[in-house]
Amino acid sequence: MDVNPYTIDISDQILEDLQHRLSHARWPDEIPDSGWGYGTNLDYLKELITYWQNDFNWKDQEGKLNELAHFTCELEGLNIHFVHEKGRGPNPIPIVITHGWPSTFFEMHKIIPRLTDPASFGGDPSDSFDVIAPSLPGYGFSEASKKSGMDVKAVAAIWDELITKKLGYSKYAVHGGDIGAGVTANLGYYHHENLYGIHLTSAIRPAPYLGKNSAPLTDAEKLHLLQRQDWEQKEGAYGHMHRTKPQTLSYGLNDSPVGLAGWIVEKYRSWSDCGGNIESKYTKDELLTNIMIYWATGTIGSAVRMYRENNGEDNAQWTLSENDIVPAPTAVAIFPYDLSTPPREWAERSFNLKRWTDMPKGGHFAALEEPDLLVEDVRAFFRGLR
């Protein structure tokens, strides 16, 4: 099977080097009283870094992560890391859950037990899943590709091989958001014969056919496209950098833990339903555990490079042809503070849509921010497809 148990074990040398770098940070200035208006707030980042130095205990967090069942497996020449937790119920079905950026598999740690053991969270045991939560190639504990082309379509093919060939499941469910939604959509298109269905928290890829024979855009769809344009103008600079010059960016982020934290933490604040108070949704330990996975593995460069890979292939402009849709049965859950909040009719142009949920709260990192809302929607959708 070539599937090997794995234990997370970051060396003392890496942790000691981190402490040295944190204690020798060279801080920039800031416009007084500018808050977060120019980017990551200086006072908050200093507070977070002080906590990282003095109070954050990686070994405690590492121990909690190792309570999950970790494995590695060679796929397409890469050593891929994944969590594989078996369901506790009468007939669990497998589900692959894929994270995005700037997340890691850690984003999924709250929904994994809710999916595997629903009875322990007030649910029905018959809704149980065997959960497979991989780390994207070049993210955290999964090896980075040394060749170009490791985009979401390529990852989808790797995931299908992992599930059907290495783990031996004949049919499986899929969930993803952000880059994970791109992987999930590609699974739903190119590997749909192996799927129960797909569940998404983002429905912007593939782009629908909008040719002469397509239905006119509704007012809601027009507003959606304007919202996307406005978001790209105000918030999309990071993505443009990732897509165009990821190598240039990686030197600073891979060398400075303060720079890495500043690059990531601003996204958790901006992209969440937190009202400007990031710690109303995430603890410092949660923020730093995610950051630590990038830091300890030195993978922030390979992670942001995936944007370039996705931009260099048809997935960047993946547009369906006339009368074409993603054939897998599809559910979409829209969280109101996500980066993109399309109307239902937009998703219906691209997907075999069977379920649509407008969530009452939550943002981009749904699995970490609103795990109960997300899991209940996943359970409800696949309940009718088992």
- Residues linked to residue 97 through DSSP beta bridges, in sequence order: 175
Can you state the percent helix, strand and coil of the chain, rounding each to 5? 50, 15, 35
Average pLDDT over residues 24-37: 97
Model pLDDT, residue 316: 54
Q: Quick check: 282 pLDDT over 80?
A: yes
Model pLDDT, residue 319: 87
Q: How far is CA 232 from CA 28, 236, 239, 259, 346, in A?
A: 26, 4, 9, 23, 19
Average pLDDT over residues 12-27: 98
Q: Is 33 left (phi over 0), alpha (psi -120 to 50) or beta?
A: left
Write b or e for each residue in 210-232: b if 16 or more Cβ atoms lie within 10 A of its Cβ, otherwise e. Answer: eeeeeeebeeebeebeeebeeee
Residue 267: partners with Cβ closer than 8 Å, 6 or more residues away:
102, 238, 364
Task: Tell me whether residue 307 is one of the annotated catalytic residues.
Answer: yes
Choosing from 178, 273, 338, 377, the catalytic residue is: 178
Indicate the SS3 state at residue 337: strand
Choosing from 169, 238, 282, 307, the catalytic residue is: 307
What's the Rg (C-alpha) of the chain? Answer: 20
Q: Minimum mean pLDDT among 129-138, 295-304, 305-314: which range? A: 305-314
Proportion of the chain above pLDDT 70, given as a percent: 98
Residue 109's pLDDT band (cuts 50, 70, 90): very high
Proportion of the chain above pLDDT 90, given as a percent: 94
Q: Render pLDDT for 283-295 as a digit per residue (tens, 0 to 9).
A: 999 999 999 999 9
Model pLDDT, residue 344: 97
Q: Render pLDDT for 350-370 as a digit per residue (tens, 0 to 9).
A: 999 999 999 999 999 999 999
Task: Tell me whether residue 192 is one of the annotated catalytic residues.
Answer: no
Query: 3-383 in CATH: which number?
Result: 3.40.50.1820
- Dihedrals φ, ψ of 39, to 5°? 125, -155
**279 CA to centre of own chain:** 20
Choosing from 99, 117, 364, 377, the catalytic residue is: 364
Task: Tell me whether residue 282 is one of the annotated catalytic residues.
Answer: no
| Cα(109)–Cα(133) distance, integer angstroms | 9
Report the residue count for the chain: 386
Residue 341's pLDDT band (cuts 50, 70, 90): very high
Amino acid of residue 331: A
Q: What one-character DSSP code corresponds to residue 142?
A: S
**40 CA to centre of own chain:** 21
Q: Render pLDDT for 162-171 as a digit per residue (tens, 0 to 9).
A: 999 999 999 9
